[in-house]
Structure formats: C-alpha cells, structure tokens
Amino acid sequence: MKKTILTSLALVTVGIIFGVILVSNFSGGVDLSFARSGGDVKLGGPVPVTTQSPGLKAVSDNFVAIAKAVTPSVVAITVTTTGKKNSQSMPHDFFHFFGPEFKSPEPQPEQGMGSGVIITPDGYIVTNNHVVDDADKGGIEVVLNDKVRYKARLVGTDPSTDLAVVKIDAKELPAAALGNSDNVQVGEWVLAIGNPLGLMSTVTAGIISAKGRSINIIRDSYNIEDFIQTDAAINPGNSGGALVNLSGEVIGINTAIATTNARYQGYGFAVPVNILKTVAADLIKEGKVHRGYIGVMIGTVDQTMASALGMKEAHGVLVQSTVAGGAGEAAGVKEGDVILSVDGKDVNAGNELQSYIATHHPGDRVTLKIFRDGKVIEKTVTLKAREEDRTVVAASEPKEEADESASEAPRVVKFDNIGLSVRSLTPDEKKDLDVDRGVIITDVRPYGEAFNRALAKNMVIVEADRKEVAAPSDLKKVIDARKPGDSVLLRVKTDKTTSFVALQIPKN
C-alpha cells in the first residue's frame, strides 16, 4: 500500500513538471537545455539544402522587406455598436463581407475588429464602410502596430464603394505608399496585411487571380464594384487592410471573400486603390463624395447581342436607357448605343465604365467612343452630379397610330424555336403597364433560347429589330425573316424599366 502511494506521488510529481513545461513553453518561459543530459544528446539532423536559388532567395527577401515596411502602416480597428443585429452574410451565402463580426441575433452592445490603412502622417486612415457602419458615438478605436491605442472619429463614408475614412489625433505616422491599380496584372505576386480572426499584424502572400470582378455584394442603389481578386489568405478581420504589390505599394483595400462557410476558401476581393484615392480625398476635404455621372443604364454586349446590333465582335457596353436631364442625354448619347471606350480606355463590362467614371467629379469631361448604326462616333460628356429623382427615358416615344391588338383576340402565339409564347395586351394591361403597345410574354420554356437570355413571364416586348411591336404578328414577321444562327434584338419592358435583349435563332 505504501509503495503504491509513493508510486502515485511520483507520477503526479512528474505530471506537474511536464505540465509546467508545456504551458510555459507557449509563453517562451522555460529553458529546455536541461533535457540534453550533460550535452551528449544531439537534436535534429544536417541542413538538407545548403544552396538556394538566387531568384527564390530574392523573392523571399523581398517579402520580408515588404512586411517590415508596410505592416506599421496597417492598423487594427475595434468597433463598438449597440442595437445592431447581425448584418453579416449568412453561412449559405457565397460572397461575404468580413470583419467585424457581430454574432448576436439580438441587439446588444458588441465589439468587432477590422483593419485600416494609414494614408496621411497626421492620422487619416482608410477602411471599409461595413467595418465602421453603425458604430456607436465614440465607439471606434484604432490600435497601431506598436500597440498604442487611439479613439477615432468618423470622417465620412461612401457606401457605393464600401470605403470610409476615420481620423486619430496623432502625428508623424507611417503613411502607406499608394500605387496605381490600373497597372495591376493577373498573376503578379501580392501580400495581404491585416488583423484576421483577432491575430494582429498578419501577412499572407498570393497572386492577383482576376481583375474587374463584380460580385453584387455592395448593397447600395449605385454600387461600384471593380474588385481585384486574389488568393492571398484573408479572413474576418482583414476588412479594410492592405493588398500590396512587390514594391510595397497599396493597390487595394481588402473587402470581401468568396466562401461557403464565412471563412477563407481561396478567393478574396479588394477595392482598387485608384478608387480609394478619389473617395478618400473627397471625404477628407468635405466629408462626402462628389461623384460625376454619365446618367445611363448599361448592359453587357456578348456575341449574340453584338450580332443583333450589327457588330463584328463582342466589345463595349450597351446603353439600355438614359436618365432624363442627365449628362449622357445632354451630350447626345442614345439608347442602343454601344460605348467602346472612355478617354481611350477600352470598356467591356459595366463595372469597368462605372469604376473609371467614379474617379471623376461633376464638371469633368470625358470622351466616349460609341458604335451606332454601323458607325463609330465620339461624344464628349460633361459629367453631372447625381439626382435621385430623375427618371429613365423610354427607348422611343410611341407613334400615334391604330392599335393592331385592338382588333386581334388575345390568343397565345408560340415561337417554339426560341421557347417563347406571347399574346396581345388587353386595354387594362396597357394602362397598368403604362405602355401603348407591345405583346406580353405568357410562357418561357426552361433552358430554351429565351430562357437562357433571361426573358421571363409578364415581360412586355415593345420592339423587335428596332421595329415597334403592337401584336404577335409583328413579332412573327421579324422572327420568320431570320435564318438559323441569326440574331434578333428585342426591346422589353419590366415594371418601369426597359432594356435590350438579343436572341439567336437556334440552328436545329
């Protein structure tokens, strides 16, 4: 019995000793040299690689130099909010803003952490709007890389780009160098610097995996999304942090991730720094952004649309409609125009045009190269400020002529080759839909041509190949005149908006 007790005490003593070693080792508080038994025990083996590729060594050294130079310019931002339910994307959504995370389902005081980048030596810091959105008064705190804490005031926000600026009372801060995001190339190395998951001053590396991404995550009526996509690891808390190139220049502000579990799965998105420059300058100077607008609704030009418009190849963005009294209308831009370039810069997606215009102010002039009716023309547009109460102009004013549908029974006409069924509008439907003519879509066959081009039930077709459609027979004339492989340009109305849709007549 006594022997058993002594044995147990010995085991407990050994356990305590090893417990102290393990716990203390996490804090670096124990010297393990006593385990070498008089210096006779050798740990580890020979160095496996005695020579290094000069190129790889240079890249590694460059990463180290960038991390040392830029990390002091990246700060942690702690936000306290009260009465805010969880506004983050839910786990089943694919695209997420990340950091700060407010997890409570019910309103109560909470804190979350994001990141920011120092952009002036006297304390102006850029971050994401969603990081500081709904912060309590006095609820924004900035922690510098050297652990010094400051209370920050909100200077201004720009929900359209998800950017914001805060200010701390400090001087001689290490402001980050701002690069030129127009020069970013897919495939180039970048580093992401921020505070993911509460881990201060974390640096990860990756490449630029795409440019010009629009992921429809900014919930603003005029969202501007032209994200730089990267596979550098970023997570909740990285929001507002820096994406830098191999020169140590900030080329983007990390903003969102593509994920199915609200954590890093390979792709992150950053706001280009060229947008940041204009937004931050306006916010610092006046507390709000003064942004110029062309005043057009635009859409994508793919090969089917290009063919329907008489273009040899898909290029540019289509003007679906213009804003009454807007800059585009004043300059002579028309519905159905295709904008090929702005100030000599090619545009092939709506967000490319938006992001370029977003760097300009009201009164600035831009030159548009436009394809119209088989010709290329130029229009100089003087940008205007946005007016929320302006309305979209219809494609064309309806002509005063006899309504063919009045004498035609509202029977359904099927176009099996494109998977579409239509009928004439009744007088009451015309009044409710605010149209003088057109045919209403009654059915769209799943996965047919019309379905694949986003036509849907209850849309109204008002034009076909620039000809007015008053009855199904008008549409039939246009469709029947086309050979398999040809494209047809339709003008359709949904609620109070109109847009162009191109269909290709199937070849089989």
Catalytically active residues are: 130, 162, 239
Both tokens of 443, joined, read: 């059915």
**Burial degree of 431 (CB within 10 A; 0-12, 13-18, 19+):** exposed
3-state secondary structure 201-223: CEEEEEEEEEEEECCCCCCCCCC
Q: How far is CA 191 from CA 27, 203, 230, 322, 352, in A?
A: 28, 7, 9, 41, 24
Q: Are 218 and 160 in contact (CB under 8 A)?
A: yes
What's the Rg (C-alpha) of the chain?
30
Q: Are 270 and 254 in contact (CB under 8 A)?
A: yes
Amino acid at residue number 55: G
How far is it, in rounded angstroms, from Cα 330 to Cα 380? 10
How far is it, in rounded angstroms, from Cα 446 to Cα 382? 44
How far is it, in rounded angstroms, from Cα 283 to Cα 288? 5
Q: Are 135 and 142 in contact (CB under 8 A)?
A: no
Containing 311, the helix (H) or strand (E) segment is none
How far is it, in rounded angstroms, from Cα 480 to Cα 413? 13
Nearest to 351 by CA among 95, 491, 160: 160
